[in-house]
Structure 1
């Protein structure tokens, strides 16, 4: 039903009713001279005759109205786009009053009435948001464009003025623009590289969601839409040729690495860079990667578990011989065999297993060297030094190849950096201790450890070595990513550690506040003692030390999470009832806040996180496994530590080649 304003003239009312009924003859009569009605007359709701005809999808009446002089198209074009009637949109776009600029940024100057469409939305933006593919093609052919929004915090004149005039409108305009830019139809029609465009746009939208928390849900929804677009393109692949075209296409159109005639996987590496997990974990990608991973080992997946273990063990055992062959002749048959990704992985894993065995053997020391300050290195420790040199060199090459930004984004690289730094510090301190003892600075050379100073370099090096060994054995979890059973478990465990980190930030704040209170309460009795006569002897007792200092209070409160603190820790020799009561109240409040509330909240949060992560564990695992696999697909890192510190003829050749460039 169309509400006609009572102030309208009789002929105008008849005209609007005729348009609503679709009565072509009546519309023509109302527009004929000598007394034609105003073609732009509106109803009480502000709807023009043209808008009504568009809503009714009456092409003939729309054509009649567009032929009238002075017709204002206005938001009728937006309604036509939303209805998806191509013929009507085509007539309006071709109307003399519509210019290419009006279809885009200049639309706000054409109409100020919003109706039920946001005034920030232009015709081309609305068309893209609704995925009207054919209509969008039409608008693009007319020269319509969408300008990329400026980043939040932009200090240009336009952004500052728009934000100052109406900050809400400024934010809404950015969201509406990104809704159009994230449209599959817009990406498909305007981008020469739709996959890369979707990757970058998804990345930008996730950063916007972080910066503009007020509209986080909208931006994350658009980011998810962009992530799905390249995945849907992969779904359309029907052959390996099409899949290789997508995954290997790079900016120079080089699909093959000319040096080794192997796929470059440039597009897949970009997916890892922009964290496109659904794209990377797609079955088509994973099938191609699996075939490349087991290259050189035909029938690997069909072999039994025993046959696989036997082959891997044989490769690890023969690795020294194979490494020597590669050093002598890297382009021989054995050298090419060493460059297969899976063989490189097995050699790296076997080498690290030997390193862990050496660490275990280095733990006990000869009896006569236990009390020796600055002892000389044993044979095992010398081998460990070579391994550490190889590990450090491997990390340096990885940093050079990836760049600092990508290198620090991988948390396993942080673990390797800490581990290698601890080993280097251990070696440095051992050298310092040996030099000082040899030079006679530290005297005596041999004495019981209880007589050693606490800052002795040997003692500090042993402590750092112990911590480094913990990191080394923990690094074995990194290899779990290749296993379909342990990989998802490792991913789930790593994600749940984030919840533990959030908990610790709150817990340490609460613990510090109570530790300050306890140390203030009991600190005045630090140096006091009470003496009494017992059996003819005078016995002096000091107060319990658990809460006398801030450090002691922190440690006591921390360990109270795992055991119950007895009342004796709060009792004072002065028998001060108020002091003990206050301490008991503080300890009770801490137990309720930290143990009852926070610990149970942590358990509940970790349970929820586990359920949420477990549903995506397979995708997360395949994404992490792909990152591991691709690190072995690239050239280099063929020789594992410590063999990689050997200067090979190939390395000399490449060094001289770079020098002469």
Structure 2
């Protein structure tokens, strides 16, 4: 026999293996029905192995767990082998059998002790402890860093329980000192990760996904994390990162991200008072202890900042937890702080009222700011120190700043030139000083923000970058406007150039602009745009590559004023409509950037193709002259300004071809029109419509989540002014107040006292040290008190969440109870029919045996007696099943009669409706009657003989 034929026969023999025997089938059916007596009898006869499996790989213990028979599970618990017990535990975990999991965990395979220390790590069964039965010793696996086999089995069960989100089973397993380990980074280069990745990549990915599913489970987070909310924030941020790395599992990580966010929202839903919400948002959940290496390795960007009013909310803002920030209870606390002290100004939450308040604020807030500068302890400080008034003050100040710099640069532009004159007006100095004071005030605000938030957090905000560039451009522009006239004035005084005035040469000591019109009869306003020839002068400097300072100033001002006016959009989130539009604009702008690469690709492709086609006809075309001309024309065509006759050629100009064939031009024009048309179609029709579709999709997504998106950007705006800061806006914030002077004097006094103090007695130093230690102790006690209060609140929220989750599971089970009952009745009826057939068959067998007994001797009579006893037992069982079926049938019959009575009543009502000519209501009632008929027909048709 050939090897190929032998292998084929072995494969067929494996596929044609016989199924279960009659005894094994009887054993498994009895385990599934929970018939403990049959199971005991079959196993006591030693005809079936307790570890036998059905076609689905389920053992008798698994089927007993599914049936929920606790006594049967206890019996099989000591019969099956260790691996089957672990399989049964996993089955119990998958089916949420909490009591059975507790029984199975008592098996000795889940007991362990360390070989080195010989100390029992866990002892659960008191009877075994009294009998001095030691648990099984499982040696450590050196390759897995000391993890025992028991740990592996318990971690597998813990992972499944966490994925099922069963709080009780997770807690039960974790009490055995087992926890899950966070998977290594996806790009980890350790030996274990490399071996797993190269061994079986699918298994490697599945293990990571299962571990992340367990780590993101609310049950596991609640029982392992000191602060579940912060842990969910970090998990959510990690899942968002993994979505971009493991794109094949993007949907799974997105679901886990939503699960973590839903858990944080569930915890916030269980807050019953404002104190609970404030305690949670305070974020004071860490003790003053030494941090672990794992904690120190975390990204410092996403750590709590204790200087914030709501550190946890600020952390959620940085980690883009929009649903948490937009939660109604978080928004209530932020709104309370925003309108604190001025509840009547809630009307300003409407955008039209805000627009009406700004002109009034431009007139009144400078007066209030001056009062604060003069008397910072007055009642005006209480008004100005509220977040809403700080917002209005900053808004009015910023709008005033824009008005001033626009007037100063566009309307009164000659004041910058008048600096070069000897008799510069006081108005020019005041206006220029005010501009620079305002810019310095804005820069001082940015410096304080960098000092308070840190450079890294400061650069994460796009608005902060806009402010930095805006102030840099404006400061550089106005500095050049001041320095340039002064420098030119110095040069004129030094060199004293000559000027032709009415045929006379005069020695100049200042700019022509500074001379009086009456003396020289020269216009200095240039309103007619005609400068006299005598005023024509030009400044030159070296090196030549240095740009014109005046031109550079104008460029910087243009960039700065564009950013300044665009920065007004920071007040848009104050209104829901404009705030949503601002978010839509930002998101659609990013979509444009994403599609810009496709535009560039098509543009370069057609530019190179068309430029190469018209290379020999560069003199005959005005449109496609080389790469630069072709690129310029195609860019304008993309915007709709390209001429339609661009591919045409002029035949009166020469070609730069070797052949100079006249027929070449016709083919070039034809191909040019084709390429130009394809480009216009691809760029304008396809890509533009694609861009519009993407923008529409993004806009629709934002509209679907407009409440969350708007509240997120509004909270970002509010927190900017809620955090502690200066009460007055620029330029008044750079003016020192009496309070600042007092603080400076106190600081100087302390400095000089320490510098020139004499030696004190040791007793005084000890007393001072004791006072410092006492203050430190009070601070530690206060932090400990805050920590304890927050932990108590967090524990209460977790308990409430667990109770609510269990209640929801029960309600879901009640909804499906009717369907489960129907399936159970049908299953029991089928099993009873099979048992009745089996009993009838056994009765026939008994009758045959009785006939044989009458022909036999005493041994046959003894066998007959045993068979009669067995028959009597079967008959009793049959009667019991018949009685149960009759009861079930009577219940079903009563249910049907109840439904029939309801149908009769509905029919009578339907007849009345027909008599009242209400056909539509009668038809609706007829549909209800049909539905009631369907509900009444669920009774199983079990025949009882």
TM-score when scaled to structure 1? 0.84
The reply on whether 1:562 has 2:640 as its aligned counterpart is yes
Q: After superposition, where does 1:177-576 map in structure 2 within 5 Å? A: 177-251=211-285, 264-301=309-346, 312-364=358-410, 380-430=431-481, 433-434=484-485, 437-440=488-491, 455-522=547-614, 545-560=622-637, 561-567=639-645, 570-572=648-650, 573-574=652-653, 576=665
Name the CA distance, whole Å, in 2 between partners of 1:523 and 1:371: 52
Distance (Å, rounded) in 1 between the aligned partners of 2:607 and 2:484: 38
Mark the runs of 5 or more structure 1 residues left unpaired by the alignment.
113-118, 255-261, 529-542
Deviations 1:576-631 (A, max 9, x none): 44443443333222211111111111112212221121111221111001011011
Q: Describe the superposition over 1:124-147 as per-residue Cα deviations: whole angstroms up to 9, x where unpaired.
A: 111111111222221122223111
Structure 1 residues 313, 655: closer, same or farther in 2, change over 3 A?
farther
Change (3 A) 1:627 1:13: same
Contact 1:75–1:111 (Cα < 8 Å) also in 2: no
Cα 1:523/1:8, change in 2 over 3 Å? closer
- Pairwise CA RMSD: 3.8
Q: Which residue of 1 aligns with 2:41?
A: 29
Question: In the superposition, relative to structure 1, how do residues 165 and 613 fare at CA in structure 2: closer, same or farther (>3 Å)?
Answer: same
Contact 1:82 1:127 in 2 (8 A): yes
Distance 1:307 1:493 in 2: 24
Please, which moves more after superposition, 638-647 or 220-229? Answer: 638-647
Q: Secondary structure at the match of 1:638?
A: coil
1:495 Cα offset (Å)? 1.6
CA contact (8 A) 2:470 2:563 kept: yes
For residues 420 and 607 of structure 2, the distance between their equivalents in structure 1, rounded to whole angstroms, comes to 40
Q: CA shift at 1:574, angstroms?
A: 2.2
Cα distance in 2, alignment partners of residues 639 and 397 from structure 1? 14
Higher deviation after alignment, 215-224 or 631-640: 631-640
In the TM superposition, what is the alpha-carbon distance from 1:525 to its structure 2 partner? 6.1
For 1:84, the equivalent position in structure 2 comes to: 96
Alignment partners' CA distance in 2, 1:322 and 1:545:
65
Q: Which of 30, 46, 50 is residue 61 of structure 2 equivalent to?
A: 50
The separation in 2 between residues aligned to 1:234 and 1:43, in whole angstroms, is 47
The match for 1:628 is 717
CA distance in 1: counterparts of 2:190 and 2:745, whole angstroms: 47
> Residue 196 of structure 2 contacts residue 204 of structure 2 at CA under 8 Å; is this kept in 1?
yes
Note if contact 2:417-2:485 (Cα within 8 Å) is conserved in structure 1: no
The Cα shift of 1:475 comes to: 1.1
For residue 45 of structure 1, report the CA deviation from its aligned partner: 3.6
CA separation of 1:449/1:266 partners in 2, compared to 1, >3 Å: closer, same or farther?
farther
Q: Work out which of the residue numbers 586, 608, 619 in structure 1 matches 2:697.
A: 608
Counterpart for residue 728 of structure 2: 639
CA displacement 1:368-420 (0-9 Å, x = unmatched): 78999999987545433322222222222222222233222222222222222
Secondary structure of the residue that 2:603 maps to in structure 1? Answer: helix
Unaligned runs of 5+ in 2: 1-15, 113-120, 122-137, 139-143, 289-306, 499-510, 513-534, 655-664, 755-945
1:345: how far off? 0.5
Q: For structure 1, which segment, 419-428 or 219-228, has the greater mean C-alpha deviation from structure 2 after superposition? A: 419-428
1:341-373 per-position Cα deviation (integer Å, ceiling 9, x unaligned): 011101100011101111321343568789999
Find the residue that maps to 2:547 and give its secondary structure: coil
Is 1:60 aligned to 2:71, yes or no? yes
Secondary structure in structure 2 of the residue aligned to 1:144: coil
C-alpha distance 197-319 of structure 1, shift in aligned 2 (>3 A): same
What is the SS of the residue equivalent to 1:154?
coil
Pair member with larger Rg: 2
TM-score relative to the length of structure 2 = 0.60
Q: Distance in 2 between matches of 1:207 and 1:650?
A: 48
Relative to 1, partners in 2 of residues 1:512 and 1:647: Cα closer, same or farther, differing over 3 Å? farther
Q: State the secondary structure of the residue aligned to 2:341.
A: coil
Moved more, 136-145 or 517-526: 517-526
Shift of 1:459: 1.2
More helix by share: 2
